[in-house]
């Protein structure tokens, strides 16, 4: 059994992770921590987990977690993991960071976009970007995995085959993405109140959203050259889900068959479904699945590629479990679902 610890267990991503780990046949939860709710039972905060996870929450202590666990999941705000993860910690347990501290390869880029100091520059070269469908072999055997963001997971996987195959003008990429409100986290803030988000849709982080450099980093590696994308996120009045609609101009002479061949790179992937109809968030709810579809507009010469995920599962906790499975040589799909929680 893999012994697991979760720090930040009562945030939305952390709680989803606890739910998934509690049903994982090869995992035992040995430590749960929450700065806000230390001393309370996890099931007191999330009553839906009564009898499933009644563990008393501890204060966030990566040292205590690493002393009892094989893997420590960090579901913490930006800036904390880079202070906490050390060589000593990594000698005791594997770390999967659901935050952003080790996703970007460059310290200066991180500090510019997140406006917080990074204290773990020496570990940036060791950390692997935990997007299994692209970096599976790099993940195996690692001690430190940077779990990708939700918008980034959806956007990168939707566009990656087109960029990797050189089928589109890389200067033309536009991403319009929509997210449910759980993407904003569980902390109390006016902009997340029901009356503020219900019956409205709004763009935010226009031209400066923190996930932009993460998307650019991975797509640039695919292209073998620097890429800049126009990324605009939107908040919509639902709990879960991300839909990314991505636009790019096809290069001269690219055919429908070329595009189909590019997306065939996902053949055999357990958590990617290529769909003929535009993806919908309800069909990936509660799953670790990415639904991807596309349309070629021969009139304009553009391709519209669309991806849908559950932001709390494939966009956070589910992908973290997928990474854990790879690290410990388990079946990659163990403890994860490909069937939606909703059939309609």
Kindly list the catalytic residues: 150
DSSP 185: -
Which region, left, alpha or beta, applies to residue 44 given φ > 0 means left and ψ of -120 to 50 means alpha? alpha
DSSP one-letter code for 6: E
Burial of 32 (C-beta count, 10 Å sphere; 0-12/13-18/19+): buried
Q: Please choose, from the candidates 318, 230, 239, the residue with its C-alpha nearest in 3D space to the C-alpha of residue 272.
A: 318
Contact 69, 93 (CB under 8 A): yes
Sequence-separated (6 or more) residues with CB below 8 Å from residue 195: none
What is the radius of gyration, based on Cα positions, of the chain?
19
Q: For residues 195 and 181, is the Cβ–Cβ distance under 8 A?
A: no
User: What backbone torsions phi and psi does residue 259 show, to the nearest 5 degrees?
Assistant: -65, -45
Q: What is the DSSP letter of 281?
A: G
Task: Pick the closest to residue 19 from 59, 58, 57, 46 (CA basis).
Answer: 46
Closest C-alpha among 28, 262, 24, 66 to residue 160: 262
Instruction: Please return the burial class of 85, using the count of CB atoms within 10 Å of its CB with bins 0-12, 13-18 and 19+.
Output: buried
Interacting residues of 10 by C-beta distance below 8 A, sequence separation 6+: 34, 36, 37, 42, 45, 46, 57, 186
Q: Where are the alpha helices (DSSP H) in 119-250?
A: 121-124, 132-139, 150-164, 194-197, 212-223
């Amino acid at each position: 059994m893999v012994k697991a610890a979760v720090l930040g267990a009562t945030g939305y991503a952390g709680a989803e992770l606890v739910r998934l780990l509690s049903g994982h046949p090869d995992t035992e939860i040995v430590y749960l921590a929450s700065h806000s709710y230390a001393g309370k039972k996890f099931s007191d905060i999330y009553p839906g987990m009564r009898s499933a996870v009644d563990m008393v929450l501890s204060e966030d202590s990566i040292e205590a977690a690493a002393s009892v666990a094989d893997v420590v999941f960090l579901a913490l705000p930006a800036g904390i993991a880079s202070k906490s993860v050390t060589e000593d910690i990594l000698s005791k347990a594997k770390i999967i960071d659901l935050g952003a501290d080790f996703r970007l390869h460059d310290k200066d880029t991180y500090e510019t976009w997140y406006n917080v100091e990074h204290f773990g520059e020496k570990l940036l070269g060791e950390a692997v970007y935990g997007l299994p469908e692209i970096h599976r072999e790099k993940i195996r055997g690692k001690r430190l995995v940077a779990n990708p963001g939700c918008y980034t997971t959806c956007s990168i996987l939707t566009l990656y085959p087109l960029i990797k195959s050189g089928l589109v003008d890389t200067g033309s990429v536009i991403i319009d993405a929509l997210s449910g409100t759980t993407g904003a986290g569980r902390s109390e803030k006016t902009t997340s109140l029901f009356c503020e988000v219900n019956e409205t849709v709004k763009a935010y982080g226009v031209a400066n959203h923190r996930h932009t450099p993460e998307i650019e980093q991975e797509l640039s590696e695919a292209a073998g050259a620097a890429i800049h994308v126009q990324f605009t996120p939107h908040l919509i009045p639902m709990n879960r889900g991300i839909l990314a609609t991505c636009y790019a101009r096809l290069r001269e002479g690219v055919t429908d068959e070329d595009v189909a061949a590019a997306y065939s790179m996902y053949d055999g992937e357990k958590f990617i479904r290529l769909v003929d109809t535009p993806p919908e968030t309800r069909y990936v709810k509660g799953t670790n699945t990415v639904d991807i579809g596309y349309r070629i507009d021969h009139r304009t010469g553009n391709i519209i590629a669309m991806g849908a995920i559950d932001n709390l599962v494939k966009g956070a906790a589910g992908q973290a479990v997928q990474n854990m499975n790879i690290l410990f040589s388990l079946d990659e799909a163990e403890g994860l679902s490909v069937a939606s929680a909703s059939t309609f």
